[in-house]
Amino acid sequence: MEDKILLAHGSGGKLAHELIEKSFVKALANPFLAKLDDSAVIDLSGRLAFTTDSYVVSPIFFPGGDIGKLAVCGTVNDLAMSGAKPLYLSLSFIIEEGLPRAELDQIVDSTRKAAQEAGVQIVTGDTKVVHRGSADKLFINTAGVGVIPEGIDISGSNARPGDKVILSGTIGDHGIAVLSQREGLSFSTRLESDCAPLGNLVAEMLAASPNIRCLRDPTRGGLATSLNELAKQSKVGIRIEDEKIPVREEVLAACEMLGFDPLYVANEGKLVAIVPAGDADKVLGAMRRNRYGKSAAIIGEVTGEHPGRVVMKTVLGASRIVDMLVGDLLPRIC
Amino acid sequence: MKFISEFRRSELAEGLISQIHRQSKTPVRLMEFCGGHTVTIFRYGIRQVLPQTIDMVSGPGCPICVTANADLDKAIALSQIPGVIIATFGDMLKVPGSRSSLQKVKANGADVRTVYSTMDALKIAEADSNKSVVFLGIGFETTAPTIAASVLQAEEKEIRNYYVLSLHKLCPPVIQAILDSGEVKLDGLICPGHVSAIIGSHPWEFIARDYGIPCVVSGFEPLDILQCVDMLVAQIEKGESKVEIAYRRGVRPEGNQQALKLMEQVFEPCPARWRGMGEVPDSGLKLRQEYQRFDAELAFDIALSPAYEPAGCICGDILRGVKTPLDCRLFGKACTPQYPVGPCMVSSEGACSAYYLYGGDFGG
Residue count of chain A: 334
Domain identity same for A82 and A186: no
Asked whether the beta carbons of B30 and B56 are under 8 A apart, the reply is: yes
- Cβ of residue A261 closer than 8 Å to a chain B Cβ: yes
pLDDT at A156 > cutoff 70? yes
In chain B, what residues touch A314 (CB-CB under 8 Å)? 43-45, 222
DSSP states of A153-214: ---TT---TT-EEEE-S-SSHHHHHHHTTSTT--------------HHHHHHHHHH-TT--E
Using CA atoms, how far apart are residues B342 and A280, in angstroms rounded to an integer? 45
Residue after which a domain boundary falls, among A148, A180, A215: A148
CATH code (residue A200): 3.90.650.10
Domain identity same for A180 and A280: yes
Asked whether the beta carbons of A324 and A224 are under 8 A apart, the reply is: yes
Asked whether the beta carbons of B349 and B64 are under 8 A apart, the reply is: yes
Domain identity same for A33 and A93: yes
| Structural domain includes residue A287 | yes
In total, the C-beta contacts within 8 angstroms joining chain A to chain B are 82
Domain identity same for A194 and A125: no
Return the percentage of chain B with pLDDT > 90, whole number: 81
pLDDT band at B364 (very low <50, low <70, confident <90, very high): very low
Question: Are the Cβ atoms of A316 and B17 closer than 8 angstroms?
Answer: yes
Residue A237 β-bridge partners? A303
What pLDDT shows up at residue B268?
Answer: 97
Number of domains in chain A: 2
**DSSP character for B295?**
B
The model's pLDDT over B21-67, given as tens digits with 9 standing for 90+, comes to 999 999 999 999 999 999 999 999 999 999 999 999 999 999 999 99
Calculate how close chain A gets to B348, using CA atoms only, in Å.
Answer: 8
Q: Which domain holds residue A169?
A: 164-322
pLDDT at B363 > cutoff 50? no
Interface predicted TM-score (ipTM):
0.75
| Structural domain includes residue A330 | no
**Spatial CA neighbour of B216 closest among B227, A263, A140:** B227
Using CA atoms, how far apart are residues B179 and A289, in angstroms rounded to an integer? 61
Residue B28 makes CB contacts below 8 A (sequence gap 6+) with B53, B54, B55, B187, B188, B232, B233, B236
Nearest CB among A311, A317, A320 relative to B43 is that of: A320
Domain identity same for A117 and A23: yes
Domain identity same for A117 and A185: no
Asked whether the beta carbons of B96 and B338 are under 8 A apart, the reply is: no
The model's pLDDT over B167-177, given as tens digits with 9 standing for 90+, comes to 999 999 999 99
Residue after which a domain boundary falls, among A121, A148, A175: A148
| Structural domain includes residue A334 | no
| Structural domain includes residue A251 | yes
CATH code (residue A111): 3.30.1330.10
Residue B58 β-bridge partners? B32
Question: Are the Cβ atoms of A323 and B356 closer than 8 angstroms?
Answer: yes
Domain identity same for A73 and A178: no
Q: In chain A, whose CA is at the least distance from the CA of B122? A: A184
| Structural domain includes residue A257 | yes
Domain identity same for A244 and A200: yes
What pLDDT shows up at residue A99?
Answer: 96
Using CA atoms, how far apart are residues B316 and B94, in angstroms rounded to an integer? 18
Q: How far is CA A170 from the centre of its chain?
A: 14
pTM of this prediction exceeds 0.90: no
What pLDDT shows up at residue A185?
Answer: 65
| Structural domain includes residue A158 | no
Question: Are the Cβ atoms of B10 and A317 closer than 8 angstroms?
Answer: yes
Using CA atoms, how far apart are residues B38 and B321, in angstroms rounded to an integer? 12
pLDDT at B158 > cutoff 60? yes
pLDDT at B346 > cutoff 80? yes
Q: Which residue has the higher pLDDT, A328 or A132?
A: A132
Q: Which of A208-212, B106-110, B145-149, B352-356 has the lowest mean pLDDT?
A: B352-356
Q: Rounded to 10 degrees, what is the CA torsion of A11, A12, A17, A19?
A: 40
Domain identity same for A62 and A131: yes
**Spatial CA neighbour of A320 closest among B153, B358, B352:** B358
Asked whether the beta carbons of B100 and B76 are under 8 A apart, the reply is: yes
What pLDDT shows up at residue B166?
Answer: 97
Domain identity same for A116 and A196: no
Domain identity same for A33 and A118: yes
DSSP states of A300-319: EEEESSSTT-EEEE-TTS-E
| Structural domain includes residue A327 | no
Question: Are the Cβ atoms of B4 and A252 closer than 8 angstroms?
Answer: yes
In chain B, what residues touch A318 (CB-CB under 8 Å)? 44-49, 363
Mean pLDDT of chain B: 93
| Structural domain includes residue A205 | yes
The model's pLDDT over A2-25, given as tens digits with 9 standing for 90+, comes to 799 999 888 888 888 888 888 888
The model's pLDDT over B218-237, given as tens digits with 9 standing for 90+, comes to 999 999 999 999 999 999 99
Residue after which a domain boundary falls, among A101, A120, A148: A148
The model's pLDDT over B281-310, given as tens digits with 9 standing for 90+, comes to 999 999 999 999 999 999 999 888 889 888
Domain identity same for A137 and A242: no
pLDDT band at B1 (very low <50, low <70, confident <90, very high): low
Output phi, psi for A127, to 5 deg: -135, 130
Using CA atoms, how far apart are residues B34 and A268, in angstroms rounded to an integer? 35
The mean pLDDT value for B268-275 works out to 95
- Cβ of residue A316 closer than 8 Å to a chain B Cβ: yes
Q: For chain B, where are the alpha helices, taking DSSP H only?
A: 10-23, 35-43, 46-49, 63-66, 69-79, 102-107, 118-127, 144-156, 171-181, 193-199, 205-210, 222-238, 257-266, 296-299, 315-319, 343-346, 351-354
